[in-house]
Amino acid sequence: MITILQPGLFSTVQDIGRIGYQKFSVPVSGAVDLDAHRMANLLVGNDEHFATIEMTVQAAEMKFEQDRVIAIFGEGPNLSLNGKHLPKGKPIFLPKDSTVKHAATGSGARTYLAVAGGIDVPVIMDSRSTYTRAAIGGFEGRRLAKGDQIGVGEMTLTQRSILTFLKEKDNVSWFVPTQFFDSNVSNGTIQMIKSEQFNTFTKESQEAVFNRFFTVTSQSDRMGYRLDGVELKQIKAKNEISSAVPFGTIQVPPDGNPILLAADRQTTGGYPVIGYTASVDRHKLAQLKPGDQIHFELVDIGEAQQQFATKEEAMRHVKAGIKLQLKGMN
């Protein structure tokens, strides 16, 4: 059992998402930064789809009622135990009655906390993810609040062995750097694939989308990021037929300021679409904060697919390496 003492800015239970229900107008939701979510789970010996706690900008303060193994991953807020910074990217032993607190903000927006056995909340439509707008999934369909008590799944025999090992050794020398996926957005570059509607925008807008910086505004959340910069305009404004909108769709509403759609996006949209961010850069989008500046770089779909395949191959190698390290603790 985990007791929430302070919820942080916006903390929710998330997994890989509610897959297969968009045809019923149910958003996918799930972790905004899937890479960080997956890595946190792998570090404690969980399957990648197990639920974690997603914390945005400010971490939650939590009390763990039993001995547990946790892992923290992502470039968002940092956590501490007894005034000591908790490292990211490695399994950590927490003794019974430990209280984990917010330590400091990070370079990015989101951090994920995985617990051996997974966060145990009801499965709704094949997922434990929280979609707050419809009060679906997670912990009572909402963000976490002070006093919430969250269940934790049973550990496997392997995870119990890992817990015993860490309890005796207190630490491990290896770790996975949070910059493994190059999610730091300090260079502001996000790769964009042109949409089928790209040529309906004016020549000035087509050039500006790649040559100008856009600022993430405070009107941004898990549904999408509103960007402020040069106004993008179509040659002739018209109503578009609603179509599916994947993660990273760049919609342009009537005011000309683009919106980057994220995990809690609607299933379809009618605003014109100037492009799609490459899936390989999803983790960069996930770590954006209000005030961050980004610019788009053109990439063709073939190159974007190759980059994604290369990243997934790297993930497989890291996954295999983590398994070997955890096996050595048995």
Query: In sequence order, which residues have a C-beta less than 8 Å from that of residue 79 and are 6 or more positions away?
Result: 59, 72, 85, 86, 100, 101, 102, 103, 111, 113
* Helix locations, 170-300, DSSP H: 203-211, 282-286
**Average pLDDT, stretch 272-279?**
96
What strand order describes the sheet that includes 52-56?
10-14, 52-56, 110-115, 68-73, 92-94
**CA–CA distance, 294 with 285 (Å, rounded to integer):** 10
Four-residue CA torsion sign, 307, 308, 310, 314 = positive
Cα dihedral: 241, 25, 258, 225 (round 10): 180
N-term to C-term CA, the chain: 24
* DSSP one-letter code for 287: T
pLDDT per position as a tens digit, 30-74: 999 999 999 999 999 999 999 999 999 999 999 999 999 999 999
Looking at residue 165, its pLDDT comes to 93
Q: What is the per-residue pLDDT across 290-326, written as a single tens digit (0 to 9) for each?
A: 999 999 999 999 999 999 999 999 999 999 999 999 8
138-154 residue pLDDT tens: 999 999 999 999 999 99
CB-based contact 207:295 (threshold 8 Å):
no
For the chain, domains (ranges, CATH) are: 2-182 (no CATH), 189-299 (2.40.100.10)
Average pLDDT along the chain: 93
Mean pLDDT of 179-194: 74
Q: 255 falls in which pLDDT band (50, 70, 90)?
A: very high
Res 174: pLDDT: 85
Q: What is the model's pLDDT at position 29? A: 96
* The pLDDT of residue 269: 86
